[in-house]
A and B are shown apart, each in its own frame.
Chain A
Amino acid sequence: MIELQSVSKVYRSILGRAITAVEDFSLRVDDGEILGVAGPNGAGKSTLIAMLLGFTRPTVGHIAIDGLAPRRYVERNGVGYLSELIQIPPRWHAEKALRRYALLSGSSNADAPTVAATAIKRLGLEEHCHKKIKTLSKGNLQRLGFAQATLVPRRVYIFDEPTHGLDPVWTHRFRGVVTELRAPDTIVIIASHNLDELQRLTDRVAIIDHGRLQRVVITGDVPDSSAAIVYRLTVVEGAEEVRTVFPVSFDHGRGEIEVRVNDLPELNRGIAELIGRGVIMAGVKPAESVLEAQFRQAVGSSARRS
């Protein structure tokens, strides 16, 4: 279990100017949970992660991983960590880099090559394993970073912008790997700007802005059926009928039409009518997920307060 209690982090310049990166942040992450952390640039996500890894200490408040201070926990157990920037000495070769990290992760000298080779295979880096780090593309470097984070099983994983630079195929594979990491005694924390990614992978998302925890969204929640909502219809045939049934609508072209309804029953009645009129539809989905709507509200209200 990870526990953050009233955590604040204030950076001070040489001239004494204070910058509050994280303010009065409290959250508990239970075993078995995948937590997302979302927020705009400069919201405090990186500082929060640095504190979770014990790279820096809170100015005020308390952080504990399984009851231990973060640095103490990491020095005892290690954490599967992927940083936003993949910083590995540029002269190292990919495979040798993984062998080194395997040794630091606790593998024996005899096991390290096997551990590295398994990670290389899992992340599809076979053809790049003898290349120098400085010659790797952004996507391959990201996969290498992910390989070093998952070299050996850990109880805690922290991924900062994990799909940054990955192509769609590897973004999809990443989701599979994260799903495999889910276990009753494992905690995975994913910080990302990609709300769709967080919606798919996480159980809860902590939305941070201006260093404060704005709200925690449970990603499995469905939209409030009594609130006005926007849906996106994908129409194959009869798109011109939509405006007559849903007066408040916007045609994005190629059969993609956004409609605004007051509640879910109104949406269902409208769709039934469209089908009755012979309209052929391929899909209906919310124009934005619960998470996107919550994020927009949280960040908007935080901006208004500041």
Chain B
Amino acid sequence: MTTRANLTTYGLWQISDYVTQRGILSFVVGLMVGAPVRFMITGIQRAGAAPERIESAANQLSAGAAATLGVLIVLLAVQRSVSGDRADGYYRFYFSKPVPVWAFYLQRYVAFGAGLLAMVALLLLIGLVSGVPLHVGGALSYFLILYLAFGGIGFLCSAITRYDWSALAVIWFGALLLRTMYAQQATGWRHWLAAVLPRAELMDGVRTALFDGIAPNTYDVAGLVGYGLVCLVLGLVIIQRRPLAS
């Protein structure tokens, strides 16, 4: 009597979990971060600036807001996505069912990503309707790349520790700080650390390009996304091999 969980259909519940537990909060944060951008652009428009000047300012301001918002909402999406079930004991009922543990969490990662992109699309739509000139495709691509890169590392952190959000912040911002301070001149242990940590500083260039409506450097995108995907796969291996009960 072999049975399999109806995991694909369960994915709809996982998207609903994202919306109710994380998406609404992310949406509110998005509005709070986006509203000042709208006001500043209105100010520029009222000052009678040329359309090209307005568009350029909108791209810069939106990219700046997206930098803050992106990190926040991806952090919100992945924090406790694995570790929470262990800490709260929810894994007991999930995984007494015929469910491969790795598949359950991979699907949750995908579902949360889909929910995040839908929520960002809604925010962008509000921006467009309110008159902010935006490259919607570029902006969505940025959030997708950020989710795959930053979110993949977050997923690995969540598979390892219940202090996942702080671990993710330390890794991402530690990488940024290390590369800002030492650029290419890091030596000794700093060199090795820089080699292991993600190329977080590349995200700025990718974001600027996408918000300007131009194609970002392919190698930079591949490096960022590849790092995130490697972390995701490592996280899945750990999830499958590590005992669920501590």
Question: With an 8 A cutoff between CB atoms, is B52 at the interface?
Answer: no
Q: Which residue of B lies closest to A97 (CB)?
A: B93
Pick from A75, A87, A103, A152: contact of B92, CB below 8 A: A87
Question: With an 8 A cutoff between CB atoms, is B46 at the interface?
Answer: no
B residues near A265, Cβ cutoff 8 Å:
none
Min CB–CB distance B94 → chain A (angstroms)? 6
Instruction: Mark A residues whose CB is within 8 Å of B.
Output: 50, 53-57, 74-81, 83, 85, 87-89, 91, 100-101, 103-109, 112, 145, 148-149, 152, 155, 158
Docked CA distance A56–B246 (Å): 8
B residues near A101, Cβ cutoff 8 Å:
93, 97
Min CB–CB distance A89 → chain B (angstroms)? 6
A residues near B20, Cβ cutoff 8 Å:
91
Quick check: A104 and B97 within 8 Å, CB to CB?
Answer: yes
Docked CA distance A152–B99 (Å): 14
Pick from A57, A80, A106, A158: contact of B243, CB below 8 A: A57
Docked CA distance A158–B98 (Å): 15
Pick from A56, A74, A106: contact of B96, CB below 8 A: A74
Q: Which residue of B lies closest to A152 (CB)?
A: B3
Q: Which residue of A lies closest to B92 (CB)?
A: A83
Quick check: B243 and A104 within 8 Å, CB to CB?
Answer: no
In the complex, the number of residue pairs spanning A and B with C-beta atoms less than 8 Å apart equals 96
Quick check: A107 and B6 within 8 Å, CB to CB?
Answer: yes
Min CB–CB distance A116 → chain B (angstroms)? 13
Q: Which residue of A lies closest to B10 (CB)?
A: A103
Quick check: B98 and A77 within 8 Å, CB to CB?
Answer: yes
A residues near B96, Cβ cutoff 8 Å:
53, 74, 78-81, 149, 158
Quick check: A55 and B244 within 8 Å, CB to CB?
Answer: yes
Interface residues of B in 167-201 (CB under 8 A from A): none
- Known contacts A76-B2, A103-B6, A104-B99, A87 near B90 by CB under 8 Å: yes
Min CB–CB distance A143 → chain B (angstroms)? 14
Pick from A56, A78, A80, A104: contact of B6, CB below 8 A: A104
Quick check: A75 and B89 within 8 Å, CB to CB?
Answer: no
Contact with A along B1-34 (1 / 0, CB 8 A): 1111111011001000000110000000000000
B residues near A103, Cβ cutoff 8 Å:
5-7, 9-10, 13
Q: Which residue of B lies closest to A11 (CB)?
A: B246
- Known contacts A55-B245, A56-B245, A87-B88, A75 near B6 by CB under 8 Å: no
B residues near A76, Cβ cutoff 8 Å:
2-3, 98
Which label, helix, strand, loop or mixed, suits the secondary structure of the A interface?
loop
Question: With an 8 A cutoff between CB atoms, is B100 at the interface?
Answer: yes
Instruction: Mark B residues whose CB is within 8 Å of A.
Output: 1-7, 9-10, 13, 20-21, 88-101, 243-245
Question: 20 additional contacts, CB 8 Å, given A89-B88, A148-B93, A155-B1?
Answer: A74-B95, A74-B97, A75-B98, A75-B99, A77-B1, A77-B3, A81-B96, A87-B88, A87-B90, A87-B93, A100-B13, A101-B97, A103-B10, A104-B5, A104-B7, A104-B94, A104-B98, A105-B5, A109-B9, A152-B3
Quick check: A87 and B89 within 8 Å, CB to CB?
Answer: yes
Docked CA distance A108–B20 (Å): 24
B residues near A91, Cβ cutoff 8 Å:
20-21
A sample of 28 inter-chain contacts (CB < 8 A) reads: A55-B245, A74-B98, A76-B2, A77-B2, A78-B5, A78-B97, A78-B98, A81-B92, A83-B89, A83-B93, A87-B89, A87-B92, A87-B93, A89-B88, A101-B97, A103-B5, A103-B6, A104-B6, A104-B97, A104-B98, A104-B99, A105-B5, A105-B97, A106-B3, A106-B4, A107-B6, A108-B9, A149-B96
Min CB–CB distance A268 → chain B (angstroms)? 49
Docked CA distance A89–B94 (Å): 11
Min CB–CB distance B245 → chain A (angstroms)? 4
Residue of A105, A145, A148 most packed against chain B (CB within 10 A): A105
Quick check: B100 and A75 within 8 Å, CB to CB?
Answer: yes
